[in-house]
Structure 1
Amino acid sequence: MKRRDWLTAAGTVALAGAVRAAPKRVRIGFQKGGLLLLVKLRGTLERELAGVTIEWKEFPAGPQLLEALHAGAIDFGVTGAPPPVFAQAAGRDFLLVAAEPGLPHSEALLVPADSPAKTVRDLRGKRIALAKGSSSHYLLLGALASQGLKLQDVQPVYLGPADARAAFEAGAVDAWVVWDPYLSIAQAARPLRVLADFGSLAPAVNAPWSFYEARREFVQAEPALLKLLVAAIAREGAWATANPEAVARRVSPLLGLRLDVMLAMQRRVRYGASALTETILEEQQRVADAFLAQGLISRPVRVRDSAWLGR
């Protein structure tokens, strides 16, 4: 046997041994929509990580998921870019372990179709619902900056997606910033106007990456298992990106969306789970610096301090 073949075989045996010796369970946090929901529905991890029990817990948004990760209630999860910035600033302990590309049109600043607000500038002094510390928060900062405004020029109303939708539909707020699938659900329910999304703001403000995070103790104890976990999610992401209709048919009944609406949403998604790179970390650092400049986090955040590069 050649040395390279021997090393490959030895690595395969070692990796298999790592899985056999792995914890009996991995607790995964997910949000409504997104790749992890599909992974859960299709039983991908249960099928590929034989001998490991996968436990799933749903969260309304990223900040709550990261609190659970810090508290040791889950081992692994995924959020948008801002939640880990706020969590780092608050001293929460976790590691960024992989990333998914940002999406230019899967998040938007919305007003009712009959709103007098025709541009972002028209929202000066108005009430805007959003989830604090979410990717929508970053989108709002960018949208305001594009019109020479700051967060202090509007009235942020910090609500989770469900409460924000209720407030928006009742007219208790003037605008709403939210991500898919809540964006698509809202657009399917009534006529709305998009004032801004990351696509309209680029290249000044690009859609930030989403991040897979893990509990530090889990990463340190089971790096081989973590790599298998991320690799399985990456394969599922490649399949999902290439098969939007199959994904739409599987997920639309769960989200209560018409198939055509769900299919349109899926066609603008690029799923994945990529290894962290210097470029990804630099882009995430820009997100952290933007929140610091607005006084939304109490201290500077060094993104690299919470990054696991798989070494």
Structure 2
Amino acid sequence: MSVKVGYFPHNNSLFVLRHRGILERSLPDVEWVDLRDLPQGTRPDPTRGLPTVHADRLFDGGYDFIGTGFTPPITAQGQGHDIVYVAVSGPRHENGRLLVKADSDIKETADLRGRRVGIAHGSWQTTLLLFALDRAGLSWSDIVPVDTGVDAAQQFLSGEIDAWVGSYPVLRAVEEQVATRDLVATEGLFSHRSLWFTRRDFAENNPEALAAIVNALQESDAWIRENPREAAALFVADAEKRGGPRADLDAWEHALRTRPFGLLPVTDEFVAEQQRAADLLHANGLLPRKVDVSSAVAPSVNALVPPIPGADAQ
């Protein structure tokens, strides 16, 4: 049986694994599915709902295993899908944050009322913004969320959006052109981890394949930690091949050097943070139903990912 693994550059670990040939040694029949090549469907109004493409493809045969940020697995559960968390990364506080231009009249998060805030809607950026708004006593309806897509940096620089949840490497290019100011520090607000998950039926029926994916990711992540510039070159080459915006090797190396690599098991603390995100998404009208995050944790799967010695599992 062919095992389909979905990947894209935003999950750095899976993207590098796709190009290193490590998984093929233990799982020769793996089929790599580039998520950017799949039909994306119609994106919902960011004031009313969340994109469901990751959940849809995981459960319509598009792929069997996926890695994303915080929000997509919650969205999957909100659509009634039976997922299982496989692993999480360490906190990625340095990867992204909510910011404005240094000369903006927005001085604190509470000043976002009625303002246009750019996000990649449906990603971890939605969750970070929700946490920031909730801390400031605001709700989703108090702002004008803008799904920025690939033009986020330009929209921020041109003033089309008033604030932005930016991330590296794109954020580095912006910082070279304009002074920025953080509205709230990501650390202490949001752990911003990478997440890997699958369908429950796949986890139960293919434990050896799942273990092979986990082990290959651990090996590949160890290589990234030791060779960040070589890993960065993979992202640059991919951007050039696809004819997209020019990718900067130094910016990608900086991004990879400042991110944690290595899979960690799901912890109670992670589940609590994820549950808070799910509750906020539902309370703000972005999730069609309440979800129980703990129901997506399977002890047998969690046992595949032992803690990394010296790593911050919390």
TM range (shorter): 0.7 to 0.9
CA RMSD of aligned residues (A): 2.7
TM superposition score normalised by structure 1: 0.79
Instruction: Identify the residue that residue 198 of structure 2 maps to in structure 1.
Output: 214
Hey, what's the Cα distance between the residues in 1 that align with 2:199 and 2:271? Answer: 19
Query: Where in structure 2 are there 5+ consecutive unaligned residues?
Result: 41-49, 240-245, 302-314
Instruction: Identify the residue that residue 80 of structure 2 maps to in structure 1.
Output: 91
Q: Is 2:200 the partner of 1:191?
A: no
Matches of residues 288-303 of structure 1 in structure 2 within 5 Å? 288-303=278-293
Q: Quick one: which of 18, 21, 28 aligns to 1:40? A: 18
How many aligned positions are there? 282
Identity %: 30
Q: Quick one: which of 57, 65, 77 aligns to 1:68? A: 57
- Bigger shift: 27-36 or 108-117? 108-117
Instruction: Identify the residue that residue 11 of structure 1 maps to in structure 2.
Output: none
Matches of residues 255-274 of structure 1 in structure 2 within 5 Å? 255=239, 256-274=246-264
- The superposition leaves residues 47-97 of structure 1 with CA deviations (integer Å, 9 ceiling, x where unpaired) of x22532332222489842222102221111111112211221121333222
Hey, what's the Cα distance between the residues in 2 that align with 1:274 and 1:128? Answer: 32
Q: Quick one: which of 113, 117, 121 aligns to 2:110? A: 121
Q: Write out the 4+ residue segments of structure 1 that deviate beyond 6 Å after TM superposition.
A: none
TM superposition score normalised by structure 2: 0.78
Hey, what's the Cα distance between the residues in 2 that align with 1:263 and 1:123? Answer: 33
Instruction: Identify the residue that residue 307 of structure 2 maps to in structure 1.
Output: none
Instruction: Identify the residue that residue 161 of structure 2 maps to in structure 1.
Output: 173
Native 8 Å contact 1:129 1:164 kept in 2: yes
Matches of residues 2-41 of structure 1 in structure 2 within 5 Å? 23=1, 25-33=2-10, 34-41=12-19
Q: Is 2:49 the partner of 1:54?
A: no
Hey, what's the Cα distance between the residues in 1 that align with 2:20 and 2:161? Answer: 38
Native 8 Å contact 1:108 1:179 kept in 2: yes
Native 8 Å contact 2:18 2:32 kept in 1: no
Alpha carbons of structure 1 residues 209 and 247: separation in structure 2 relative to 1, 3 Å:
same
Tell me which amino acid in the other structure corresponds to 1:35: S
Native 8 Å contact 1:108 1:183 kept in 2: no
Alpha carbons of structure 1 residues 156 and 49: separation in structure 2 relative to 1, 3 Å:
same
- The superposition leaves residues 145-176 of structure 1 with CA deviations (integer Å, 9 ceiling, x where unpaired) of 3434332221112x253154554455432222
Alpha carbons of structure 1 residues 91 and 247: separation in structure 2 relative to 1, 3 Å:
same
| 3-state SS, counterpart of residue 286 of structure 2 | coil
Hey, what's the Cα distance between the residues in 2 that align with 1:184 and 1:29? Answer: 27
Offset of 1:121 from its aligned partner?
3.3
- The superposition leaves residues 85-137 of structure 1 with CA deviations (integer Å, 9 ceiling, x where unpaired) of 12211213332222222300212224345544343333221111223332111
Offset of 1:140 from its aligned partner?
0.9
Query: Where in structure 1 are there 5+ consecutive unaligned residues?
Result: 1-22
Q: Is 2:269 the partner of 1:279?
A: yes
- Bigger shift: 102-111 or 112-121? 112-121
Instruction: Identify the residue that residue 96 of structure 2 maps to in structure 1.
Output: 107
- Bigger shift: 229-238 or 93-102? 93-102
Instruction: Identify the residue that residue 147 of structure 1 maps to in structure 2.
Output: 136
Q: Quick one: which of 122, 138, 145 aligns to 1:133? A: 122
Native 8 Å contact 1:67 1:92 kept in 2: no
Native 8 Å contact 2:232 2:253 kept in 1: yes
| 3-state SS, counterpart of residue 7 of structure 2 | strand
**Rg larger in structure:** 1
Instruction: Identify the residue that residue 145 of structure 2 maps to in structure 1.
Output: 156
Greater share of helix? 1
Hey, what's the Cα distance between the residues in 1 that align with 2:82 and 2:151? Answer: 28
| 3-state SS, counterpart of residue 195 of structure 1 | strand
Hey, what's the Cα distance between the residues in 2 that align with 1:29 and 1:126? Answer: 35
